[in-house]
Each structure stands twice: as C-alpha cells, then as structure tokens.
Amino acid sequence: MNNNSNKMFFLFILFFSTLISISSNSWFGCWIGLEINLLSFIPLISNSKNLLSVETSLKYFLTQSLASINFLFMILIKFSLLKNFNMNNIISIMMNSSLLMKMGSAPFHFWFPNIVEGLSWMNNFMLMTWQKISPMILLSYYFNKNFLIFMIIMNLIIGSLGGLNQTSLRKLLAFSSINNLGWMIFSIMISENLWLFYFLIYSMMISMMISLFFLMNMYFMNQLFINNMNFFIKLNLLINFLSLGGLPPFMGFMPKWIIINFLLINKFYFLIFIFMMTSLIIIYYYIRIIYSSFMFNYFKMKWVNLLMKNNMSLINLSSFISISSMILSTFIFM
C-alpha cells in the first residue's frame, strides 16, 4: 500500500486541518482542527510491511484523543466559569498539558518513542515536524509561563538522558525531537517569529537526515557500520548530525544562538545552564551515531551492496548550504 492516492488524500486533509486549527477565531475551531488532524494521520500509518503498525495506530489514537477530549473539556470550563484573561490559573495549566501531550512533550512523552518504532521514515518526518505546528501555535495563545518553564526543563533532561541507551535510529531521533521541543517551547514563549525560525531550520535538518536514512533504508545503529557507504554519504551524515547538535560552524548553531540571546535578555540564568549541559549530552549520542563517518577505513562487509534509490544531489546541496550558510551569514550581518 505504498505510494497510492489514498494516502495523498489523507495527507491533504492533514495539511488542511493544521491550517484550520491555527487560523480559527474561536477555541472550538482549534479543537476541530486538532481532531481532524488526529483522524487523518491514522490512515497514513497503515503499512502492511511493518508488524507494529496496528499497535501504533491504536496507541496514537488513544493518546491523542485523550488529549483532545481534555482540551475540549477545559475550553468549555473556561468559557463557562472564567470570564477573565488572567493566564496564571489551573485552567491554563490543564490546557497547556493537553497540548503538550499532543506534541509528545515530557512528562507526557511516553507514547512518542513507542510509536516511532511502528512508523516508516516518512511518517516519522510528518510526526516530528508537521504535527507539532498546531499544538505549538495553540500553546502560544494561552500559556502559563511558570508551568511551561518547568516543562522545558523536563523536556530537555528527558530528551537528553533518554537517548543514551538507544540503538534504534528512530527512537534516537524521537528523543532528540523531545529535546528540541524544549528549545521550541521556550522560543514560542518569546515570539512566534522566533519559533518559526527555529522550527524551519529544525525541520530542514531533520528532513535531510530522515531522507538520508530513508534512501539507505537504515533503521538501527548497527546498520551504519555494516554497509559500504561511499565517502559523500558519510560526509553528509557527519555534517547533518553535527548541525543538529548545534555545533558551529554549521547552520544548526544559529537558532540555538538566537534563543540563548533571548534567554540572557530575560535573565533565565539557571535555565540556560540546563540548556547547555543537556545539549552536550545530545551531542554525545549524535557522535556515537556518526563514528562510522569519522573513520575512513573500518571493517566493511563485501557482500553488502548499497543501492541508492534516488540520486542525492538535493541532499548534497542542502549539506553544502548547511556548512556555508552559517559562515556567509556572519559576514553579511556583522
């Protein structure tokens, strides 16, 4: 059931539902968008080659509908009981919690690494990037600052420490996505423009990485060492992972730098320390993935033949942009 028009239909409704959710005038419209989002993602999951797809779709449905019901209930309570605009109350905490659960943020993240095992790479890409847009923007409409700062800390710590013991590439990217959610929640507390900037660059980096893994059909870490990658694929992998970790001189450094700037303007000194230290742990397990691309001659199996499905010129171009854009942009703006 790959590449057929059924999936294209549901994909179209998925995109449309996010647009409904973020551009509605009333909280009901937001809820409607979230529900249609959930319903149209489920058919995309089904894949007869993956043994876990049924379990995945059931888990996704249960968690997301629980969050949606919670959200609807809190909207109704807010309409009927609360007539003020104060955001420091229990209702905002509940609404934020339900949205955080939709995104897969800690402490409601337990479903997220579970179900990425049952999804193909393209579905993972949709889950990690597009599905985060509408909950994020809804979060920015009515958030509770103290609660969200606590959630950011939990996201960062769980995202960094959770990935230390993983060998499946999908789970690793899931934990890294949870960590990046911490950065994104902070950026949406500052400004929506800032969040958009971070989100676009993050989506670009994740898309490069996921398309690389998709073309090589790789799902686990030990597969990185067995096959015979040619030199440019390894270089691409290296650049993309280091860029995702936020190391200069790659492009992934820029959004983190700007967020650190805003953290310091707003005097979040303890929080920035946690941001830095968890980012070090994340870089550790990224580098574990790309050991094979540091070493030029390692033990390769001769009977493994790596056939690339498409040509890689787009990925090569985007990696080149990833190195050079950072350096070029510093020359322009400074």
Candidate residues 73, 141, 270, 294; the one interacting with other proteins per rule CB under 8 A: 294
Report the nearest approach of other proteins to the CB of residue 280 (Å). 6
54 contacts 27 by C-beta, under 8 angstroms = no
- Site map (CB under 8 A) of other proteins, residues 185-224, x = contact: ----------------------------------------
59 contacts 94 by C-beta, under 8 angstroms = no
Q: Which CB sits closer to other proteins, 29 or 248?
A: 248
64 contacts 146 by C-beta, under 8 angstroms = no
Q: Report CA-CA distances (Å) from 88 to 95, 118, 145, 147, 224.
A: 12, 38, 8, 9, 48
236 contacts 319 by C-beta, under 8 angstroms = yes
Asked if 242 touches other proteins (CB under 8 A), the answer is yes
First and final C-alpha spacing in the chain: 52
Candidate residues 58, 283, 306, 321; the one interacting with other proteins per rule CB under 8 A: 283
Asked if 303 touches other proteins (CB under 8 A), the answer is no
Burial, 123: exposed, middle or buried (Cβ in 10 Å; 0-12, 13-18, 19+)? buried
Q: Which CB sits closer to other proteins, 77 or 260?
A: 260
Question: Which residues sit opposite 168 in a β-bridge?
Answer: 220
Q: Which CB sits closer to other proteins, 149 or 272?
A: 272
> Tokens representing 126?
């949709």
d(CA 142, CA 209): 33
Cis peptide before 107 (omega within 30 of 0): yes
Asked if 265 touches other proteins (CB under 8 A), the answer is yes
Candidate residues 77, 149, 196, 287; the one interacting with other proteins per rule CB under 8 A: 287
Asked if 299 touches other proteins (CB under 8 A), the answer is no
Asked if 296 touches other proteins (CB under 8 A), the answer is yes
Candidate residues 295, 304, 317, 328; the one interacting with other proteins per rule CB under 8 A: 295
In the block, which residue shows the tokens 């929506």? Answer: 192
Sole window of 11-19, 201-209, 214-222, 294-302 interacting with other proteins (rule: CB under 8 A): 294-302
Candidate residues 280, 301, 308, 317; the one interacting with other proteins per rule CB under 8 A: 280
d(CA 265, CA 187): 13
d(CA 12, CA 293): 38
C-alpha closest to that of 157 among 185, 128, 187, 182? 182
Candidate residues 52, 153, 190, 247; the one interacting with other proteins per rule CB under 8 A: 247
Sole window of 127-135, 153-161, 181-189, 257-265 interacting with other proteins (rule: CB under 8 A): 257-265
Q: Which residues contribute to the site for other proteins (CB under 8 A)?
A: 231, 242, 247-249, 253, 257, 260-261, 264-265, 269, 272-273, 276-277, 279-280, 283-284, 287, 291, 294-296, 326, 330-331, 334
